[in-house]
Amino acid sequence: MAIVVETVEINGREFTHTYSDEYKKIMDANGIVYEEAYDVLDKTYTETDELISEFTEYEELPPEEQERKAYEEIGRIMMGADEYE
């Protein structure tokens, strides 16, 4: 059980991508639970025992498609989209 933290660049900006390597949700210091997180600030997360319900959908995709879908979602979040497809 481990939390993975990596730096990714999106549109020339660096973000910290944090997620569980066991497809579990993560929780920040305020008790807010996420499936994964992209932050511009350093934040600390702990892994929960709750599995991400949709992880198999992404796991079945080739790595390039997984990355493309993740960047699309980040773009929607950064643009303030209220709904996800």
Give me the mean pLDDT over the 11-22 stretch: 90
What span, in angstroms and rounded, lies between the C-alpha atoms of 22 and 37?
15
Residues forming beta bridges with residue 82, ordered by sequence position: none
Return the domain boundaries, the chain: 3-78
Measured at the CA of 82, the angle between CA 23 and CA 10, to 5 degrees, comes to: 60
| 66: its two tokens | 């997984």
Q: Where are the alpha helices (DSSP H) in the chain?
A: 55-59, 63-78
- Whether the pLDDT of residue 84 is over 60: the answer is no
pLDDT score at 55 = 53
